[in-house]
Homo-oligomer: A and B are copies of this chain.
Amino acid sequence: MADLVIGADLGGTSSRLTVATTAGDRLVTVEGGGGNPTTHGVERAAEELACSARRALADFDPGEVRAVVIGVAGRATLDDEQARLAFVRALATSDIAINPDFVGDAEVAFCSATPEPDGAVLLAGTGAMAVRIRDRSVAATSDGLGWLLGDEGSAFWLGREAVRASIAAICGTGPPTALTGAVSESLLDGPPPVPVHRHRSALIRAANGRPPIALATLAPLVTRAETEGDVVAGALCDAAAERLAEMLAGVREAGEATPLVVVGSVVRDRGGPVGRRLRALIAGRFAGDVLAAEDGLVGAAWLAVRSLWPGESLTEVHTRLRR
């Protein structure tokens, strides 16, 4: 017999769920498909979560689960009572009779990296936003507007800039770059058509012929080209890091020395083309430690434990969950 908690992080392309003891020992972690209710629909996201919970609890008694915290992108989802009920019903099919708490992806990411109550978190994966955290909740948001309106410095943004730079190089309005070949190979079926204006048209058509968000899949071409010394790709990484640092500045108070948490494929790796540049900019402009979080899983599980003992600091539980 043990008291258990469930922490989950519902992402657009993959979801993770962990079962842990209230002492912070992680017993099992499972990965599922994309389970974000905004992108996949509430019913499907709830069913995906219940499915992951069943797999994770195969060797445990669902009746021992005391708290469930679900990290999910987008405040809108948290505001919708119908969405909550769909998750409650889905969990009930896995014999979990607990009302889950929904927490934003920024909060669970922040709490994954640190047990401190205040700070800031920068999320830069497919999308991008910076959030001021006060008492483990969102106090202010910068960008995070989605690909259509913002997300500058995100993987979507890097991918779009890669296409723009490729076209500029083709048309002679920008410098030559290795991105032209890489982007053309990725977007076009077969070799690029000639002359130049057909190549240009083919790239525009191809980019517009897929869901816009698919431009995010081109971001790794930029980081690869940068690693191989491409100057244009390097300039795009500079620009992305600069935009992300500005995003952080929008949620950072003067002289603040609280932790800065970075999360997401674009910035997580401290040695990566954007992660390295961003850390250099942060070191020059902000105080406070820079911590990286893999995702929001630890934070979700820790917040689940905290919900059972709201007055406690539970830093040891946090340390244990991070192992």
Contacts and interface: CB of A to CB of B under 8 A. Distances in A.
Which secondary structure characterizes the binding site on chain A? helix
Contact of A140 (B146, B171, B198, B201): B171
A141 interface: yes
A74 interface: yes
B79 A146 contact: no
A69 to B, nearest CB: 20
A250 B168 CA distance: 11
Contacts of A40: none
B160 A149 contact: yes
Given A79-B198, A171-B140, A145 B74 contact: no
B163 A149 contact: yes
Contact of A141 (B146, B171, B207, B212): B171
A197 B148 contact: no
Interface in A167-198: 167, 171-173, 197-198
B160 A208 contact: no
A75 interface: yes
Contacts of A75: 197-198, 201
Interface string A200-239: 1100110110001001000000000000000000000000
A147 B243 CA distance: 21
A142 interface: yes
A148 B203 CA distance: 12
A43 to B, nearest CB: 18
Contacts of A149: 160, 163-164, 167, 204, 207-208
Sorted nearest first, the 4 A-B pairs with minimum C-beta distance are A76-B201, A173-B250, A75-B197, A75-B201
Given A141-B171, A212-B212, 4 more contacts: A79-B198, A148-B160, A148-B212, A148-B215
Interface of A: 74-76, 79, 138, 140-142, 145-146, 148-150, 160, 163-164, 167, 171-173, 197-198, 200-201, 204-205, 207-208, 212, 215, 250
